[in-house]
């Protein structure tokens, strides 16, 4: 029978398959960070259990880490969380890339760059953006803390097989349009629960043409479309990226792995529960204006006013979003001024993101009313960027150049947007209060964020630079 | 965990869609390393004013809503971050059942694992649960997991679907890890035979 890539990944990890039960799936890689793991380790200790396969676990700290003086965590509870992870990893024999490590970084940035994230694997993490790793043709999804404990103890999870959705994107993206715009456009068009209960396979010529880093941006935000996970079939681009990575298979093993990975692609006749076709040429640079990622418009757009025809509840939600964001409705996106710019997060903090943004910034100055920061996704990204001199470009323009971590994506450290102020952010969630109480977040691509930093308001990045300088970068990654 | 068979109580209605886990429990409360004591921070930004006092306009702060043990919400409840602090906070506050049009996947699982019963009902059924659509508190709801229904005080009965496996786990209050550890032989066999990348 024809199988999708999702079927193949699923079926090859089933440990127990019995009627009236979810399947028991084997987990190949368990990524761990400081926020969602302490209660899981405590649970193990309470019941006198051990970690079944510490060799398949890998930990880092990212959410709480200061990005200026990284060794000086002032908040006591943050420090306790970081120390607790250190203690837990030591006690249970789990490899940890802590503050001192050259490999430290956001969990979804370092998994791929270390070659831990590989096609064909099942990957979980107590973090919803685990969907990122699907870009490699892995079955990767976020879990809660009880499930973290379950995986630690058993290296498995009980899972009902989700529905399957194919999102086929064909054609060339327009000038200045990025993978971030593709996923924002998708969510704007189909809503934040189009993927609920499903795993998405992204396919089509647009996706095939994407670098691994662009694929990661796409898969990263599939959770914002409600999907449990998303996958992209591995191909030459994938293999090229993986080759030579620290923990990737080498030599003969690598060749054999590539052969096996090539077979993961969906069979031509394979059936999906739903198929969505997208024409890439329709997509424009996008900006969110509200408090869910679906409240999003092309940069040329105008913020909606309450629609008298909509049902009460929708009207109320729209009104709530407008009020929170400080809009009356009818404002043009390009009129909105910003006070903060954040280039970072597991969505857009990889080397290619920084390269693209630096091209917009080079030789210009950040608007005097704007505080702009760049937070590389990992120490490795930071080093690579510095080797290329990107930090100097950003610093010369008036950006702050920080240490790696989650930072302003969720403001668990000191990087917070003050109440009532606006931030052009390359992160993934514009929920009320996400970047700070009363903070107003606008999600954009790295080049759109860079353009906003220079102008002090949203501006169509396509008007900032001549065409040749903005050719989409196909950099294969760190 | 004690088993969950049925529950009766009053329900507070939160008339909103897409309530995300950042709203249920904001990130500044995620720094603790235990599972207890999150209830006072539930819906923090909605529940309290900037001076720390209770926001009288928030539905859960209304006098009639105090003591509610069932929460009724709209579409896509619990979307966003995977933080299990969200169900910990809901449970600590006193909610044992959440009725919504739909739930985000991870949140749904997190509820079940903490002995909170998440029930999906259609928008019409949710409307009908109330005497009138503006009612913010529904008195005397009965929720029966064994028979899979919700009944209101008029005796109207609304059936819901529930996964048979999770139903059994919740009814019995079983510890899932113990159940899985009984599969040790199969897990070992899988490990021995699997191809490692
Ligand atoms: S960067 Fe943001 S979304 Fe990504 S793991 Fe960190 S907090 Fe979560």
Q: Give binding residues of A as ranges.
A: 346, 406, 409
Per-residue pLDDT, averaged over A35-39, amounts to: 95
Q: What domains can be seen in chain A, in order of their start residue?
A: 5-275 (3.30.499.10), 296-469 (3.30.499.10)
Residue A102 pLDDT more than 80?
Answer: yes
Query: Radius of gyration of chain A from Cα atoms?
Result: 22
- For position B46, what pLDDT does the model report? 93
Is A144 in contact with B165 (Cβ distance < 8 A)? no
Of the pLDDT bands very low, low, confident and very high (cuts 50, 70, 90), residue B140 is: very high
Is A431 in contact with B191 (Cβ distance < 8 A)? no
Do A72 and A55 touch, CB atoms closer than 8 A?
no
In angstroms, how far is the first alpha carbon of chain B from the final one? 38
Average pLDDT across chain A, whole number: 94
Which of A134, A132, A108 shows the shortest CA–CA distance to A120?
A134
Do A6 and A25 touch, CB atoms closer than 8 A?
no
Quote the minimal CA–CA distance from B158 to chain A in Å.
23
The CATH number of B6-196 is 3.20.19.10
Alpha carbon of A443 to those of A329, A358, A429: distances in Å?
18, 18, 7
Per-residue pLDDT, averaged over B148-157, amounts to: 94
- For position A413, what pLDDT does the model report? 86
Which of A215, A203, A207, A265 shows the shortest CA–CA distance to A241?
A215
* Cα separation, A53 vs B106, whole angstroms: 24
What is the share, in percent, of chain A residues with pLDDT greater than 90?
Answer: 90
Residue A123 pLDDT more than 80?
Answer: yes
Of the pLDDT bands very low, low, confident and very high (cuts 50, 70, 90), residue B133 is: confident
Tell me which of A333 and B33 has the higher pLDDT. Answer: A333
Is A145 in contact with B187 (Cβ distance < 8 A)? no
Q: How far is the CA of A142 from the centre of ligand 1 (A)?
A: 12
Residue A12 pLDDT more than 90?
Answer: yes
Average pLDDT across chain B, whole number: 92
Of the pLDDT bands very low, low, confident and very high (cuts 50, 70, 90), residue A241 is: very high
Q: What's A173's DSSP letter?
A: P
* Cα separation, A228 vs B82, whole angstroms: 11
- Which residue on chain B is closest to A197 by alpha carbon? B105
Q: What's A45's DSSP letter?
A: H
Per-residue pLDDT, averaged over A404-423, amounts to: 94
Residue A314 pLDDT more than 60?
Answer: yes
- For position A475, what pLDDT does the model report? 42
Q: What number is the ipTM of this complex?
A: 0.90
Contacts of A30 in chain B (CB under 8 A): none
Which structure tokens are listed for A376? 């590389």
Per-residue pLDDT, averaged over A234-248, amounts to: 98
Quote the minimal CA–CA distance from A143 to chain B in Å.
6
Residue A391 pLDDT more than 90?
Answer: yes
Do A181 and A291 touch, CB atoms closer than 8 A?
no
- For position A313, what pLDDT does the model report? 72
- Which residue on chain B is closest to A293 by alpha carbon? B80
Find the CB nearest B183 among A24, A80, A142: A24
Distance of CA A468 to the CA centre of its chain: 28
Q: Is the CB of A345 under 6 A from ligand 1?
A: yes
pLDDT in tens, B47-91: 999 898 999 999 999 999 999 999 999 999 999 888 999 999 999
- For position A124, what pLDDT does the model report? 98
pLDDT in tens, A276-308: 999 999 999 999 999 999 999 999 999 999 776
Contacts of B109 in chain A (CB under 8 A): 143-144, 146-147
Domain ranges of chain B: 6-196
- For position B31, what pLDDT does the model report? 86
Per-residue pLDDT, averaged over B123-129, amounts to: 93
Do A444 and A287 touch, CB atoms closer than 8 A?
yes
- For position A478, what pLDDT does the model report? 37
pTM of the shown model? 0.93
What is the share, in percent, of chain B residues with pLDDT greater than 70?
Answer: 99
Instruction: Using a CB–CB cutoff of 8 Å, tell me whether B27 touches chain A.
Output: yes
Handedness of CA A402, A405, A408, A413 (dihedral sign): negative
* Cα separation, A207 vs A170, whole angstroms: 8
What is the share, in percent, of chain B residues with pLDDT greater than 90?
Answer: 76
- For position A306, what pLDDT does the model report? 78
């Amino acid at each position: 029978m024809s199988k999708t890539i999702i079927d193949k990944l699923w079926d090859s990890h089933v440990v127990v398959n019995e009627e009236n039960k979810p399947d028991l799936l084997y987990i190949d890689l368990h990524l761990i960070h400081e926020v969602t793991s302490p209660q899981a380790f405590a649970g193990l200790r309470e019941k006198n259990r051990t970690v079944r396969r510490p060799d398949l676990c890998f930990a880092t700290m990212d959410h709480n880490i200061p990005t200026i003086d990284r060794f000086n965590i002032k908040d006591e509870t943050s420090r306790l969380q970081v120390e607790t992870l250190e203690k837990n990893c030591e006690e249970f024999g789990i490899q940890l890339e802590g503050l001192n490590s050259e490999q430290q970084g956001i969990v979804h940035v370092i998994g791929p760059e270390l070659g831990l994230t590989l096609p064909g694997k099942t990957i979980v993490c107590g973090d919803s953006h685990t969907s990122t790793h699907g870009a490699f043709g892995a079955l990767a999804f976020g879990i809660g803390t009880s499930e973290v404990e379950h995986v630690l103890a058993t290296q498995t999870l009980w899972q009902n097989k989700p529905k399957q959705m194919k999102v086929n994107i064909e054609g060339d993206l327009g000038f200045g349009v990025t993978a971030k715009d593709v996923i924002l456009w998708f969510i704007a068009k189909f809503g934040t629960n189009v993927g609920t209960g499903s795993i998405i396979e992204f396919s089509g010529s647009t996706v095939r043409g994407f670098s691994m880093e662009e694929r990661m941006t796409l898969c990263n935000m599939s959770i914002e479309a409600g999907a449990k996970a998303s996958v992209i079939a591995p191909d030459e681009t994938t293999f090229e990226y993986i080759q030579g990575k620290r923990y990737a298979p080498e030599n003969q093993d690598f060749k054999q792995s590539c052969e096996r990975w090539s077979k993961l692609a969906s069979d031509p006749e394979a059936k999906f529960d739903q198929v969505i076709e997208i024409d890439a040429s329709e997509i424009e640079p996008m900006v969110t204006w509200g408090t869910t990622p679906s409240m999003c418009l092309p940069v040329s757009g105008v913020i909606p006013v309450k629609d008298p025809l909509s049902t009460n509840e929708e009207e109320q939600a729209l009104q709530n979003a407008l009020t929170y964001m400080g809009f009356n409705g009818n404002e043009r996106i390009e009129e909105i001024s910003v006070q903060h710019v954040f280039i970072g997060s597991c969505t857009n903090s990889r080397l290619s993101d920084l390269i693209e943004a630096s091209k917009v910034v080079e030789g210009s100055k950040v608007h005097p009313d704007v505080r702009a920061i760049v937070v590389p996704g990992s120490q490795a990204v930071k080093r690579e960027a510095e080797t290329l001199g990107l930090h100097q470009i950003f610093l010369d323009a008036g950006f702050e150049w920080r240490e790696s971590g989650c930072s302003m994506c969720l403001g668990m450290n000191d990087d917070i947007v003050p109440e009532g102020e606006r931030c052009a952010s390359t992160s993934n969630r514009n929920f009320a209060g996400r970047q700070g109480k009363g903070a107003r977040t606008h999600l954009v691509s790295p080049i759109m964020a860079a353009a906003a930093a220079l102008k002090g308001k949203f501006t169509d990045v396509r008007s900032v630079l001549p065409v040749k300088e903005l050719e989409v970068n196909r950099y294969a990654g760190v | 965990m004690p088993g969950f068979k049925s529950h009766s109580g009053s329900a507070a209605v939160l008339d909103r869609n897409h309530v995300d886990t950042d709203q249920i429990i904001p990130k500044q409360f995620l720094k603790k390393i235990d599972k207890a004591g999150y209830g006072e921070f539930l819906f923090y930004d909605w529940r309290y004013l900037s001076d720390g006092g209770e926001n009288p306009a928030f539905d859960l702060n209304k006098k009639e809503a105090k003591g509610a043990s069932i929460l009724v919400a709209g579409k896509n409840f619990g979307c966003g971050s995977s933080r299990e602090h969200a169900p910990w906070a809901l449970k600590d506050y006193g909610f044992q059942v959440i009725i919504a049009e739909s739930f985000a996947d991870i949140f749904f699982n997190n509820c079940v694992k903490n002995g909170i019963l998440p029930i999906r009902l259609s928008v019409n059924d949710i409307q009908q649960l109330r005497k009138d659509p503006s009612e913010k508190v529904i008195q005397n709801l009965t929720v029966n997991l064994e028979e899979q229904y919700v009944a209101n005080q008029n005796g109207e009965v609304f059936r819901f679907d529930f996964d048979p496996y999770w139903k059994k786990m919740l009814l019995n209050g079983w510890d899932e890890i113990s159940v899985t550890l009984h599969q040790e032989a199969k897990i070992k066999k899988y490990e021995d035979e699997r191809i490692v990348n």
